[in-house]
Amino acid sequence: MAATASPTLLRLRRFANGLVTTIVTLLGLVALTFFIGRVIPIDPVLSIVGEKATQEAYDKVFFELGLDKPVWEQFTSYTLKLIQGDFGTSFTTTRPVLTDLLSFFPATLELATLGLLIGVLLGIPAGVASAYWHDKWPDHLIRMVGLVGYSVPIFWLGLVGLYVFYYKLSWVAGPGQLDVFYVGIVQPITNSILIDSLLRGQWEVFWNAVSHIILPVCLIGYFSMAYLSRMTRSLMLDQLTQEYVLTARLKGATELEVVVGHALRNAAIPLVTIIALSYGGLLEGSVLIETVFGWPGIGNYIASSLFRGDINAVLGGTFLVGVIFILLNQLSDVLYATLDPRTREVRK
C-alpha cells in the first residue's frame, strides 16, 4: 500500500498547482489582450497624431511606439511593461492608464458589490423557496420574476427606471454619481464616493450619492437575484431528492432543519463558485448600466475609450477585468476546498 501523503505536503502541492495554473492563465490573458490590440481595426498612431498629421509626424510616433519591430519583440515589450504596471498612456485623458483604472474602478466596485449583496440576500432565499414549493404557485411566481430579470435587456430596464422613478415620481436622483453642486466637495481617499463622504463626515454628499446609486444598484441586484435564484433552485432540487434528506425527515427533523441545515448547507458548496463568478460578471458586465446612468466606472471608461480609438485604455481595462476573473476563480476554488471536506481527504 502506498504511503499516505502528509496534509502539509498536499497543501503545498495544491498551492503549487494553483500558482502554476494562475501564471499560465495570466500569460494567456496577456497574449489575448496583445493580439486583440492587433486585430481591432484602430490605428493607434492616428489616435495620437490625428488624421490630418503629416507623414513625418506619423512615422515618428510609429517608431516611438515600436510598431516597426517584429511581433514577438512587441509582445515581449508589452508583457514586461504589464509586469511593471505600465499599461501605457491614455490618448484621451493623457494620463497613465493605470491611474485612470484606479480612479474609475471603485465606482464600478460600488455598483457590483451592492448589487451582488442584494442578489445574494434575495436570490438565495427565493431559490430555496422555489425548490421547496416545486411546481406550486410560489415556484411559478419566483420563476416568472426571475425570467423577466434574466431575459429583459438591462439597459431597457434602466431607461424605464429613469423615466418612472426619476422623471415621473422623482423618488431617486438622475444620472451621474452626484448632483453638480456636490462634485469636488469631498477629497478622494479611496475614490469611492460613498466611503469617502463617510470618512470625511460629509453627510449631505453621502445621502446625495445614495440617491444616485440606489436605482442602478437595484437593477443590477435584480439581475443578480434572477440568476442566483435560478441556480439555487437547480442545486436545491438536486439536494432535496437525496437520501440523506429522507433520512433526516424520518429521524424527526423539522422542515427548517432539513431544508436549511442539510440541503442548503450542501448546496452552498457549489453555490460559492457561482457567487464568485457572478461577482466577476457584475464587475465586467455593468457597462450598459454605467452608460445609461452616466456612471463614472470602468465599464463606461472602456466603452468610451473604444469609441474614441483609445486602444491603450481598452486593453488596460480588458486586462484588469480578466485578472479579476482569474483571482475570483482561484478564490472560489480555495473556498470550495475549505467548505467541502471531501476535497481535503488524504487518500492512500
pLDDT digits (tens, 9 = 90+) for 105-125: 888 989 999 999 999 999 999
State how far the Cα of 142 lies from the Cα of 239, in Å rounded to an integer. Answer: 19
Q: What is the pLDDT of residue 212?
A: 92
Q: What is the pLDDT of residue 15?
A: 66
Distance from the Cα of residue 61 to its chain's centroid: 35
Which ranges in the chain are annotated with CATH 1.10.3720.10?
Answer: 102-344
Residue type, 86: D
Q: Give the three cell numbers for residue 307.
A: 469609441
- % of the chain residues with pLDDT over 90: 19
Class of CATH domain 102-344: mainly alpha
C-alpha cell at 301: 471608461
> Looking at 95-109, 192-206, 246-260, which range is the least confident one?
246-260
Which long-range contacts (C-beta less than 8 Å, at least 24 apart) are formed by 63-68?
none
For position 4, what pLDDT does the model report? 53
Q: Flag whether pLDDT at 19 surpasses 90.
A: no
> Taking Cα atoms as reference points, which of 11, 14, 19 lies closest to residue 326?
19
Residue 346: per-residue pLDDT: 41
pLDDT at 246 over 70: yes
* Averaged pLDDT for residues 252-274: 85
Q: How far apart are CA 224 and CA 289, in angstroms?
A: 13
* Cell (9 digits) for 12: 503545498
> What's the whole-number average pLDDT of the chain?
82
CB within 8 A of 67, min separation 6: which ones?
44, 45, 74
For the chain, the helix, strand and coil percentages under 3-state DSSP, each to the nearest 5: 75, 0, 25
Q: Indicate if the alpha-carbon torsion angle 313, 315, 321, 323 is positive or negative.
A: negative
Looking at residue 87, the DSSP 8-state letter turns out to be -
Q: What is the pLDDT of residues 140-175, one digit of tens each?
A: 999 999 888 878 888 888 899 999 999 888 898 888
End-to-end CA distance of the chain: 7
| Residue 2 pLDDT | 46
| pLDDT at 10 exceeding the cut of 70 | no
Q: Is the pLDDT of residue 138 over 80?
A: yes
Average pLDDT on 189-197 reads 88
Instruction: Specify whether the backbone of 42 is left (phi greater than 0), alpha (psi in -120 to 50) or beta.
Output: beta
Residue 192 has pLDDT above 90, yes or no: no
Residue 174 burial class via C-beta count within 10 angstroms: exposed 0-12, middle 13-18, buried 19 and up:
middle
Dihedral angle, C-alpha 23, 28, 32, 38, nearest 10 °:
90
Residues 8-42 as b or e (16 or more Cβ within 10 Å = b): eeeeeeeeeeeeeeeeebbeebbeebbeebeeeee
Give me the mean pLDDT over the 228-256 stretch.
Answer: 87
pLDDT at 332 over 80: no
State the average pLDDT over residues 284-306: 82
